[in-house]
Amino acid sequence: MNGEAILPYLIIIPLFGAFSMPIVNLLGRKAREAWAVMISGATLAVGSAIFYYVWDTKKILVYTLGAKSPLGQGVGFPIRIVWEVDLFGAIMVLMVTLVSFLAVLYSLGYMKHDTGLDKYYTLIIILELGMLGIAITGDLFNFYVFLEIMSIASYALVAFRNDTWEGIEAGIKYMFVGSIASSFVLLGIALLYGQYGTLTMSYLALKLAQSPSVTAKVALALFIAGLLFKSGASPVHMWLADAHPAAPSSISAMLSGLVIKIGGIYALTRILFSIYGASISVKTVGWVVIIFACITLIVGNAMAVIQNDMKRLLAYSSVGQIGYILLGLGIGLAAYGSQTGEIAMAGAIYHTFNHALMKALLFLIAGVVIHQLGTRDLNELSGLAKAMPKTTFAFLIGAAAIIGMPPLNGFASKWLIYESSAIFNPILGAIAIIGTAFCTAAYVKVLYTFFGRPSERVMKAKDPEGTMLWPIIILVVAIIVMGLFPWQISDKVMIPAVKALENQLAYVSAVLGGA
Amino acid sequence: MDVMGNIVYPVAGLLGLYGFVSLASLLWEGIDRKLVARMQRRVGPPLIQPFYDFLKLMSKETIVPNTANYMFRAAPVLALATAIALLAYTPMGFTPIMASKGDVIVFIYLLALISFFKIVGAISSGSPYAKIGAAREATVMVSREPAMMLAIFAIMWRLGKLGVDRPFSMGIFYQHNIWEIGTPMSFVGAIILLYVFCVWLASEIEVGFFNIPDAEEEIAEGLLVEYSGRYLALLKLTKALKAYIAASLVVAIFFPWGIADYFNLTGLSAEVVNLLFHTLKVFILLFVVESVFRAVTGRLKITQAVDFLWKNVFLASLVGSLLIAMEVIM
């Protein structure tokens, strides 16, 4: 198998699927649904193949659009758009394709009663496309384009149910905030281009290391600001708490599981490590990230405790979990090159993947509950376990995993973050523990409701149909199986991913080659 | 892989321990009831009354309320399973079967998980009495565990400084013990922590002051109100196991000495002798903490118990831990 040969299909398949959807739609509902499942399934297959290839060969995949070599004729610098996938990118690709496939599958049952579904499936596949593009690109402007594809698709999907007031409200809020954030990123890119005259990430890294400038630092500040917006870090998390509850649940699962990580965490990590790694004081930037991480941790988890709306609770919990990932990232930067930093970064990447699974699971379950009962108010959902045993059991697993209970996958990733933060600075470890205490309180509250005395309203509900249940089952199995081999996964996948990420030289020379 | 060494022996050891501890802990319950009866000038039941109770409950019809969900039936089984798993990490006169670096967290986690399953089972019954009992159990649990955790981590950290191969493992107590440090400050600290652990033990097994979640007179058996038959039998067995395990922890920390060496025993026979001696120490500790405490005091109100655990026990734990840690820090 040749990784370079199949990499383009990661973009070709969803692009083809999305653009052909209006035509396929003419064949009727069944054809549309089958097409959406096939497209996302095929993308999952390609995504897994690429992950396996990158993991197996430990190479950095480089693909040049339009020519064999990224370098121009007779010049020593890249002039074409390149895609560059290291192990970190490949993990993200696998995560995106997996959760997207499950979300599409889930939509078949969940979105049954909505209209305009040809547009829905087009948008969901475009959303996936945008995220995949961000994960594989090695070109800064290409990154911006994919970021916007992802963002615009998610604005549209948040406001998809445009007959509800909250969908429109959340959509507008998200769009205004998100557009400003995107324009920060664009401004940063423009500054860098003006200063250094290149948009290829690896070549830019070289240029930055050769001649650091104030412009580069301003651009970095703009990147951090814009991408923290996208990742829903406190104090700019307010769009998230509205957007996630208002979106259809399959979309909430993708927003919370994927969008905030790819568009926020992944992009931030890539820019900080692979572009700026050698040219900035990683310690300073690391502490900036850590400060935001601590605020996010506390605010997100504490706000989750007081929510009565199930999806809002999950949304705030997402903010809290982003805090952990940012904490890992911040320590990974501040303790760059040491073993502590490596463990922290491995924890951050691991938690990104785990949280995508857990939060997708929890949002899909919330969707089932809303679908069956028409309410998200936790006060009305007492005793759900009686009427929906499978669903509540899956919720129990998801909640236990997100709190970080040992036999499940959340434990290992959180442990890496606790351990490294306690070694790096005990106060940060204490903050992380406080965040978890809040998180535990929030989820125990939900469980307390679910397992209580069944209310009148709840007794009418029952477990959902197959297309909605299977994605949930798959995620539960994934969470349990990943929980059984935490240290193997950490050693074989996450640590090598960190090593690849920290090895900026390899990232640069993969594109520039011998030049 | 060494199948015998890694799988067969530990499983056999765990099953053996499970059998032994079930018998010993139920027997202790019988002794406890007899002793308390004698303190109150009653004859009391025969020593093996808990075994009769267990068998009788097992044979009774099990009633499941129609408001109960699946966790009502799963929780007693899960609680017992957790207790059995916990035996593999419990120091009982010898290094635990599954001892490894950092397993103290597993121990604390599993011990708390038993209470958690009891709470979930109680909530799942749909009875408001059980729900009140569960809320009380959760409240007491949150209040009692920090004091214990602080103390145990301080002790383990201090003993780790003396040089051990597996830091923060439950086997550590058989390599060094807290009295060995020898300075007056650490001695005072150890005495304070002994007090903390005794109160913790009492609240863990819910006797005396802390017989709150089950408070049969006020909230009709609280947590266990809806349980009957087999499930009640399992929960009672779990409670007995938990009492033995929690007491084992305190014994291992403060009185870890074995007697096998005096008889020049090695191998399996040494472990058996140490286990029996350990059981004797557990019974003595439980006599003080459970029987006497239960006979001489009534229960506190829930608010009083929370106040007591935070303002008295946790503070004592803080002071004791600081005293233990002092000469290393300074």
Cα separation, A382 vs B67, in Å, equals 11
B94 beta partners: none
**Subunit contact A386:B68, Cβ cutoff 8 A:** yes
Contact between residue B42 and residue B298 where contact means Cβ atoms under 8 Å apart: no
**Subunit contact B69:A451, Cβ cutoff 8 A:** yes
Name the residue among B67, B70, B106 with its Cβ closest to that of A453. Answer: B67
Contact between residue A372 and residue A388 where contact means Cβ atoms under 8 Å apart: yes
Q: Is B127 on the interface with A (CB under 8 A)?
A: yes
Residue of A nearest to B74 (CA): A393
Residues in chain B within 8 Å Cβ distance of A447: 120
Convert the pLDDT of each residue in A449-479 to its tens digit.
888 888 888 888 888 888 889 999 999 999 9
**Subunit contact A383:B68, Cβ cutoff 8 A:** no
pTM of the complete model: 0.92
Residue at token pair 């970080």: A404
ipTM, two decimals: 0.87
> Coil, strand or helix: which one is A7?
coil
Residue of A nearest to B131 (CA): A452
Convert the pLDDT of each residue in A76-95 to its tens digit.
788 889 999 999 999 999 99
Amino acid (one-letter) located at A353: F
Which pLDDT belongs to residue A65? 87
Cα separation, B286 vs A58, in Å, equals 58
Cα separation, A463 vs A3, in Å, equals 41
pLDDT grade, residue A515 (50/70/90)? very low
**Subunit contact A453:B131, Cβ cutoff 8 A:** yes
What angle separates helix B9-39 from helix B70-87, to the nearest 10 degrees? 100
Convert the pLDDT of each residue in B8-58 to its tens digit.
888 888 899 899 999 999 999 999 999 999 999 999 999 999 999 999 999
Q: Is the peptide bond before B184 cis (omega within 30 degrees of 0)?
A: no
Beta strand A61-64 with A82-85: parallel, antiparallel or unpaired? Answer: antiparallel
Mean pLDDT, range A387-404, rounded to an integer:
91
Residues in chain A within 8 Å Cβ distance of B70: 385, 389, 393
Name the residue among B70, B106, B123 with its Cβ closest to that of A452. Answer: B123
- The answer on pLDDT for B132 being more than 90 is no
Query: Using CB atoms within 10 A of its CB, is residue B70 exposed (0-12), middle (13-18) or buried (19+)?
Result: middle
Contact between residue A290 and residue A330 where contact means Cβ atoms under 8 Å apart: yes
> Coil, strand or helix: which one is A82?
strand
**Subunit contact B126:A389, Cβ cutoff 8 A:** no
DSSP string, A416-449: HHHHHHHHH-HHHHHHHHHHHHHHHHHHHHHHHH
- Tell me how far the alpha carbon of residue B252 is from its chain's centroid: 12
Residue of B nearest to A459 (CA): B67
For residue B126, give how far its alpha carbon lies from the nearest alpha carbon of chain A (Å).
4
Convert the pLDDT of each residue in B50-107 to its tens digit.
999 999 999 998 888 888 888 888 999 999 999 999 999 998 888 888 888 888 888 9
Cα separation, A148 vs B137, in Å, equals 51
**Subunit contact A392:B69, Cβ cutoff 8 A:** yes
Instruction: Give the number of domains in chain A.
Output: 1
Query: Mean pLDDT in chain B?
Result: 87
**Subunit contact B70:A385, Cβ cutoff 8 A:** yes
Torsion (CA) A461, A465, A468, A473 in degrees, nearest 10: 90
For residue B67, give how far its alpha carbon lies from the nearest alpha carbon of chain A (Å).
6
For residue A206, give how far its alpha carbon lies from the nearest alpha carbon of chain B (Å).
44
Residues in chain A within 8 Å Cβ distance of B123: 448, 451-452
Contact between residue B75 and residue B124 where contact means Cβ atoms under 8 Å apart: yes
Convert the pLDDT of each residue in A1-20 to its tens digit.
677 888 999 999 999 999 99
B68 backbone dihedrals φ, ψ, rounded to 5°: -80, 150
Mean pLDDT, range B198-224, rounded to an integer:
80
Identify the residue among A391, A397, A453 best suited for mutation to test binding to B, counting B beta carbons within 10 A and taking the highest.
A453
Q: Is B71 on the interface with A (CB under 8 A)?
A: yes
Nearest alpha carbon to residue A388 among A439, A339, A445, A461: A461
Residues in chain A within 8 Å Cβ distance of B128: 453
Contact between residue A56 and residue A141 where contact means Cβ atoms under 8 Å apart: no
Q: Is B70 on the interface with A (CB under 8 A)?
A: yes
For residue A480, give how far its alpha carbon lies from the nearest alpha carbon of chain B (Å).
17
Beta carbon pairs, A and B, within 8 Å: 37
Nearest alpha carbon to residue A353 among A294, A422, A412, A297: A412
Residues in chain A within 8 Å Cβ distance of B111: none
Mean pLDDT, range B187-206, rounded to an integer:
91
Mean pLDDT, range A119-134, rounded to an integer:
94
**Subunit contact B126:A452, Cβ cutoff 8 A:** yes
Query: Mean pLDDT in chain A?
Result: 90
Residues in chain A within 8 Å Cβ distance of B138: 444
**Subunit contact A383:B69, Cβ cutoff 8 A:** yes
Rounded to 5°, angle at Cα B106 from B101 and B109: 155
Residue of A nearest to B116 (CA): A444
Q: Is B153 on the interface with A (CB under 8 A)?
A: no
Residue of A nearest to B135 (CA): A448
Residue of A nearest to B110 (CA): A406
Mean pLDDT, range A272-285, rounded to an integer:
87
Residues in chain A within 8 Å Cβ distance of B131: 452-453
For residue A390, give how far its alpha carbon lies from the nearest alpha carbon of chain B (Å).
10
Q: Is B131 on the interface with A (CB under 8 A)?
A: yes
**Subunit contact B123:A451, Cβ cutoff 8 A:** yes
Residue of A nearest to B106 (CA): A406
Residues in chain B: 330
> Coil, strand or helix: which one is A97?
helix
Q: Is B126 on the interface with A (CB under 8 A)?
A: yes
- The answer on pLDDT for A301 being more than 80 is yes
Query: Using CB atoms within 10 A of its CB, is residue A427 exposed (0-12), middle (13-18) or buried (19+)?
Result: exposed
pLDDT grade, residue A314 (50/70/90)? very high
Residues in chain B within 8 Å Cβ distance of A389: 69-70
Cα separation, B164 vs B187, in Å, equals 21
Q: Is B109 on the interface with A (CB under 8 A)?
A: yes
Sign of the alpha-carbon torsion through B286, B290, B296, B297: positive
Cα separation, A117 vs B185, in Å, equals 73
For residue B201, give how far its alpha carbon lies from the nearest alpha carbon of chain A (Å).
23
Q: Is B183 on the interface with A (CB under 8 A)?
A: no
Name the residue among B69, B106, B109 with its Cβ closest to that of A389. Answer: B69
Identify the residue among B105, B123, B132, B226 best suited for mutation to test binding to A, counting A beta carbons within 10 A and taking the highest.
B123
> Coil, strand or helix: which one is B41?
coil
For residue B122, give how far its alpha carbon lies from the nearest alpha carbon of chain A (Å).
9
> Coil, strand or helix: which one is A137?
strand
A78 backbone dihedrals φ, ψ, rounded to 5°: -70, 135
For residue B305, give how far its alpha carbon lies from the nearest alpha carbon of chain A (Å).
21
Query: Using CB atoms within 10 A of its CB, is residue A206 exposed (0-12), middle (13-18) or buried (19+)?
Result: buried
Lowest mean pLDDT across A38-47, A102-111, A362-371, A380-389:
A380-389
**Subunit contact B120:A392, Cβ cutoff 8 A:** no
For residue A261, give how far its alpha carbon lies from the nearest alpha carbon of chain B (Å).
30
Q: Is B78 on the interface with A (CB under 8 A)?
A: no
Q: Is B69 on the interface with A (CB under 8 A)?
A: yes
Cα B144 to Cα A500, B13, B117, B196, B198: the distances in Å are 45, 31, 17, 10, 11
Which pLDDT belongs to residue A1? 64
**Subunit contact B109:A406, Cβ cutoff 8 A:** yes
Which pLDDT belongs to residue A93? 94
Cα separation, A348 vs A327, in Å, equals 8
pLDDT grade, residue B216 (50/70/90)? low
Which pLDDT belongs to residue A358? 93
Neighbouring CB atoms inside 10 A of A179's CB total 14
Which pLDDT belongs to residue B224? 82
**Of all residues in chain B, what percent carry a pLDDT higher than 70?**
98
Mean pLDDT, range B120-137, rounded to an integer:
85
Sign of the alpha-carbon torsion through B284, B287, B292, B294: positive
Contact between residue B291 and residue B32 where contact means Cβ atoms under 8 Å apart: yes
A291's tokens? 């400060």
For chain A, the C-alpha Rg in angstroms (whole number) is 22
Identify the residue among B69, B108, B118 best suited for mutation to test binding to A, counting A beta carbons within 10 A and taking the highest.
B69
> Residue A454: which domain range?
3-512
For residue B93, give how far its alpha carbon lies from the nearest alpha carbon of chain A (Å).
27
Cα separation, A494 vs A480, in Å, equals 18
Query: Using CB atoms within 10 A of its CB, is residue B323 exposed (0-12), middle (13-18) or buried (19+)?
Result: buried
Q: Is the peptide bond before A235 cis (omega within 30 degrees of 0)?
A: yes
Cα B110 to Cα A160, A406, A486, B14, B151: the distances in Å are 45, 10, 19, 16, 18
